[in-house]
Chains A and B, each alone.
Chain A
Amino acid sequence: MWKWIQKLASPKVFYETTNKLIPWFFWPFIALISIGLYWGLVLAPADYQQGESFRIIYIHVPSAWMSMLVYFIMAVAGGIGLIWQIKMAEVVAKVSAPIGATFTLIALVTGAVWGKPMWGTWWVWDARLTSELILLFLYLAYISLNNAFDNPKTAAKASSILAIVGLVNLPIIHYSVKWWNTLHQGSMFNDISNPSMHPDMLWPLLIMVFAFQFLYGVLALVGARDEVLVREQNSRWVRAVVTGEQS
């Protein structure tokens, strides 16, 4: 395992691996999103309390989960870059930030749109909503800090420290519905063996969660592949890749 990680830390191997992996993430994403959307929008029955509006959860919940998962990956990759000076970990952290920020924005916007007919308001300063908004600001701060330095090493160092400090927000988001009396509903998966959703509604949700994970995979791989080319532009192998020469 360690040998494999060391091998992947080589920019050339990393580039080749990401290039090969992209279709393995893209096509499952297309298949899962198609099945998930059809099941969620057409086959799943309406909720007995929320009516048809519950269908928004098929994008709201996966994007909210991904907003936290991507932040975690970004902070861990940033930490690996800081501790072991692995440049490819810095690349993963950097390319994850805009994707995670987009997932967070989707979670916030779809939550607000769902909130209007259900709560009667687009927004409340509820603990879950506010901590998710702070997550968006953390992503934006990370992106700004990363772009504020010309030297990629300094940029990665500064932004990784910010990402690691911001990790404290993840348990706050997750437990906010337990720690405070919030308007936002509690977790549906407190007991995984006995979820509070009917399987006809649960399965499309799980499929959409996997679809969003593959979506992150595709976008992160594409971004990382291109970022490696920029960082290693003075290497002979990058010249060979770009100009089409044999290295």
Chain B
Amino acid sequence: MTLAETLSFLPYGKYALYIWLSYGITFILIAGLFVRASINYKKIRIQLKNKYAREND
């Protein structure tokens, strides 16, 4: 029994594996872009705050 047949109980039947795999990978990659943007936002502000604090000392 192939993986596609095993997962055919999901919506979209025999194509469920391919559809959910495509949408899942897309979701992960796009979520990754948002996470990266959020990490950059915090990192840049912390780095700049530390830099200005050092300059003020």
Interface residues of A (CB under 8 A from B): 41, 51-53, 55-56, 59-60, 63, 98-99, 102, 105-106, 109-110, 113-114, 116-117, 215, 219, 222-223, 226, 229-230, 233, 238-239, 242-243
Contacts and interface: CB of A to CB of B under 8 A. Distances in A.
Which of B15, B26, B49, B51 lies at the interface centre, i.e. has the most chain A CB atoms within 10 A of its CB?
B26
A109 to B, nearest CB: 5
Contact of B48 (A99, A109, A215, A229): A229
What is the size category of the interface that chain B forms with chain A?
A: 20 to 34
Interface in B6-57: 12-16, 18-19, 21-23, 25-26, 29-30, 32-34, 36-37, 40-41, 44-45, 48-49, 51-52
Contact of B15 (A60, A98, A117, A239): A117
Contact of B30 (A41, A56, A215, A229): A215
Interface of B: 4, 12-16, 18-19, 21-23, 25-26, 29-30, 32-34, 36-37, 40-41, 44-45, 48-49, 51-52
A59 B49 contact: no
Given A215-B30, A219-B34, 16 more contacts: A52-B15, A52-B19, A55-B12, A63-B26, A98-B33, A102-B33, A113-B21, A116-B18, A117-B18, A219-B33, A226-B40, A226-B41, A238-B48, A239-B48, A242-B48, A242-B49
Which of B12, B30, B36, B45 has the most chain A CB atoms closer than 10 A to its own CB? Answer: B30
* B19, B25, B49 — most chain A CB neighbours (10 Å): B19
Contacts of A229: 44-45, 48
A199 B19 CA distance: 21
Contact of B22 (A59, A226, A233, A243): A59
A53 B19 contact: yes
Contact of A223 (B13, B23, B40, B48): B40
Contacts of B48: 229-230, 233, 238-239, 242
A223 to B, nearest CB: 6
Contacts of B51: 233
Given A53-B15, A242-B49, A222 B37 contact: yes
Nearest to A216: B33
